[in-house]
Amino acid sequence: MSRLIVVSNRVAVPGTSSAGGLAVALQAALEETGGIWFGWSGRIDPDDSGQVHEHDAGNIRYITVDLSKRDHDDYYNGFANRTLWPLLHFRVDLVDYSRITYAAYRRVNALFAEKLAPLLRDDDIVWIHDYHMIPMAKLLRELGVTARLGFFLHVPMPSSDLLAALPQHERLFEGLSSYDLIGFQTERDLERFQDYVRLFGRGRVISHGILETRKGKRLRAGAFPISIDTAQIEEQARAAAAKVGVKRLATSLSGRELAIGVDRLDYSKGLPERFRSFGRFLKRHPEHRGKLTFLQIAPVSRGEVLEYQKLRSELEQLSGHINGAHAEPDWTPVRYVNRNYPHPTLTGFYRLSRVGLVTPLRDGMNLVAKEYVAAQDPKNPGVLVLSTFAGAARELDGALLVNPYDMDGVADAIAAAMEMPLEERRDRWETMMAVLRENDITAWRRKYLAALREPI
Ligand code: G6P
């Protein structure tokens, strides 16, 4: 079997970063065939980009590249996170338009391509991830790479009208046609992409998922909803009850129910709306006051970007405000925590929670929603309150689906979760678990890689 080469901005080099769900999946994919994981080292060199680091573990070689302070500012904080991230999450109002950061984005992609191309063999399968790396295929082809190249977009694909706001949209998205397979999280993302191809790409959609560029090159596009290691999370959550942190949380509740949210501190996650919804819940449903505590875990993310700093102060204010208005001497309604927890501990927290609040304004998939479900106790499962704007809502229709902008609606869904009889909770949970057992992380990568290997 051909080698797998994974390319992503973040690389989970063993011992250097905590292994998130995606890291675990890609690691397992690489172990199957052996290969390379290539991307940014996470290091910032004060002067120059381009220093390469290599690390071997088993049959996987990790190859990572340092970025200069300027490239990190303009490529990562800049074009990736102040332009593409808001644009792809439908937030045109937050998009920063700058030729300087676009140039840095191209420059860093070109640097990555130049370091990667000489390492590739013709029969390699190259899988490139997410919005940081859109131009990679075109750049690799220009350097003579003939291996199969696949792309997977972890975030949403917005509608053409929104994308058109980006001055460089045609150049950027034209680059996608150098891939052999473009993967999206949901059918809706795929449809919006096909619309874009028809409207702006000057290409043809030959049939659902088969495209042809104006130069006559054919490529595939498909929906591959990413998932979790369902069996492992079930197991972790079961074992987590014995962990000190989980026991401490359970004791601290003094018999009250728990609602939990776990998100990077990001404006796409709808956190201010969620906090306000919880405030509304306390007002609209006074019978539940003092019976439910809301724990929001929100590790700080992309803290150098202004919008993220503003969000942080807003949430500090809001949590203070809700607690000020509703707390009792022996009960704090909102517990707001900016630190990160080891993954097994989080699964224990999920299992303790009567309500899982996953209410992003936009999200490619949202794996917390899937993990919350997989972590539940089958005998007494909690209720997932899930935004209809998360990719996960397409699969998890056993959740209470909400519109996160409708804060009264979210408040009522929290009340419904508190009041839901055990039998209904079990039925809904079983429906969702069936989906997660069938489409777990292994199924996801196998489907994607099989489609990438398939000749067109
Ligand atoms: C999202 C993106 C990933 C990104 C992650 C963490 O899930 O789709 O590409 O790695 O957020 O963000 P960060 O900026 O810390 O890499």
pLDDT digits (tens, 9 = 90+) for 173-227: 999 999 999 999 999 999 999 999 999 988 899 999 999 998 899 999 999 999 9
The values of phi and psi at residue 269, to 5°, are: -85, -5
Side chain identity at 445, as an amino acid letter?
A: R
Phi-psi group of 211: left, alpha or beta (phi > 0 → left; psi -120 to 50 → alpha; rest → beta): beta
Q: In the structure encoding, which two tokens stand for residue 58, read together? A: 């088993």
Q: Which two tokens stand for residue 214?
A: 């104006």
363 included as an active-site residue = yes
Distance 213 CA to ligand 1 centre (A): 30
- The answer for residues whose C-beta is within 8 angstroms of residue 111's C-beta and 6 or more apart is 49, 50, 65, 71
ipTM score of the complex? 0.98
Question: Mean pLDDT over residues 316-340, rounded?
Answer: 97
Q: How confident is the model at residue 339 (pLDDT cuts 50, 70, 90)?
A: very high
Decide if 164 contacts 43 (C-beta within 8 A).
Answer: no
Report which protein residue has its CA nearest ligand 1's atom 10: 10
Confidence category of residue 1, pLDDT binned at 50, 70, 90: confident
Q: Which amino acid is at 20?
A: G
Could you tell me the CA-to-CA distances from 215 to 133, 175, 201, 219, 304 in Å, in that order? 23, 13, 11, 12, 42
Lookup result for tokens 């795929």: 190
Q: Is 4-227+441-453's fold the same as 230-438's?
A: yes
DSSP state of 331: B
DSSP code string of 374-431:
HTS-TTS--EEEEETTBGGGGT-TTSEEE-TT-HHHHHHHHHHHHH--HHHHHHHHHH
Which of 10, 128, 267, 300 has the most ligand 1 atoms within 8 A of CB, as the residue to mutate? Answer: 10
Structure tokens at 307: 């919008």
How many CB atoms within 10 Å of residue 383?
A: 28
- State in Å: Cα 266 to ligand 1 middle: 10
pLDDT at 183: 98
Q: Quick check: is 154 catalytic? A: yes
Which residues, including other chains, have CB under 8 Å from residue 347's CB and lie 6 or more apart?
Answer: 233, 236, 237, 240, 371, 374, 375
**What is the Cα–Cα distance from 174 to 185, expressed in whole angstroms?**
20
CA-155 nearest atom, ligand 1: 8
Ligand 1 center–CA 313 separation, angstroms:
21
CA 191/CA 325 separation, integer angstroms: 45
**Which residues have CB under 6 Å of ligand 1?**
10, 130, 154-155, 301-302
Q: What is the pLDDT of residue 173?
A: 92
The residue whose CA is least distant from atom 8 of ligand 1 is 154
CATH superfamily of 4-227+441-453: Glycogen Phosphorylase B; (3.40.50.2000)
Q: Which atom of ligand 1 is nearest to the CA of 302?
A: 14
Asked if the model's pLDDT at residue 113 lies above 60, the reply is: yes
Q: Whose CA is nearest to atom 16 of ligand 1?
A: 10
- Residue 260, classed as helix, strand or coil, is strand
pLDDT of residue 18: 54
Task: Decide which of 16 and 69 is more confident.
Answer: 69
Say which DSSP state 91 is in. -
- Measured CA to CA, the distance from residue 375 to residue 377 in angstroms comes to 7
Tell me, what's the pLDDT at 17?
A: 62
Q: What's the average model confidence in pLDDT over 109-128?
A: 98
The enclosing H or E element of 244 equals helix 244-252
**72, 132, 154, 343: which one is catalytic?**
154
Q: Which residues partner with 126 through β-bridges? A: 5, 149
Distances (CA, A) of 415 to 188, 291, 369: 30, 11, 19
Question: Among the atoms of ligand 1, which is closest to the Cα of residue 130?
Answer: 9
Tell me, in angstroms, the distance from the centre of ligand 1 to residue 412's CA. 31
CA dist list (Å): 267 to 249, 311, 360, 413:
27, 7, 8, 22
Residue 17 alpha carbon to ligand 1 centre in Å: 13
pLDDT of residue 19: 52
Express as a percent the part of the chain with pLDDT over 70.
99
Sequence-ordered alpha helix ranges (H) in 96-243:
99-116, 136-142, 160-163, 169-174, 187-199, 230-240
Ligand 1 atom 7: the closest Cα is on which residue?
154
Contact call for residues 154 and 365 (beta carbons, < 8 A): yes
Q: What is the pLDDT of residue 151?
A: 98
Quickly state the pLDDT bin for 24 (edges 50, 70, 90).
Answer: confident
Residue nearest to atom 4 of ligand 1 (CA): 10
Q: What is the edge-to-edge ordering of all strands in the sheet holding 292-297?
A: 334-337, 292-297, 257-262, 355-358, 383-387, 400-402
> Which element (helix H / strand E) includes 85?
helix 85-88
Is residue 47 very low, low, confident or very high in pLDDT (cuts 50, 70, 90)?
confident
Residue nearest to atom 11 of ligand 1 (CA): 264
CA distance 352 to 241: 9
Distance 300 CA to ligand 1 centre (A): 12
Q: Which tokens go with 386? A: 């899930």
**CATH match of 230-438 with 1.10.1740.10:** no
Q: What is the pLDDT of residue 21?
A: 63
Q: Which atom of ligand 1 is nearest to the CA of 301?
A: 15
Residue 317 alpha carbon to ligand 1 centre in Å = 26
| Catalytic position from the list 266, 363, 412, 440 | 363
**Residue 25: pLDDT over 90:** no
Question: In one letter, which amino acid is 267?
Answer: Y
- Looking at residue 286, its pLDDT comes to 97
Among 77, 154, 265, 358, name the best residue to mutate to test ligand 1's pocket (greatest count of ligand atoms within 8 A of Cβ): 154
Burial, 214: exposed, middle or buried (Cβ in 10 Å; 0-12, 13-18, 19+)? exposed
Q: Specify which residues 313 forms β-bridges with.
A: none
Domain ranges, ordered by start, for the chain: 4-227+441-453, 230-438
Candidate from 129, 134, 152, 301 with most ligand 1 atoms within 8 A of CB, to mutate: 301
Q: Please provide the distance, in angstroms rounded to a whole number, between the alpha carbons at the two ends of the chain.
A: 19
Structure confidence at residue 192 (pLDDT) = 97
What's the confidence (pLDDT) of residue 150? 98
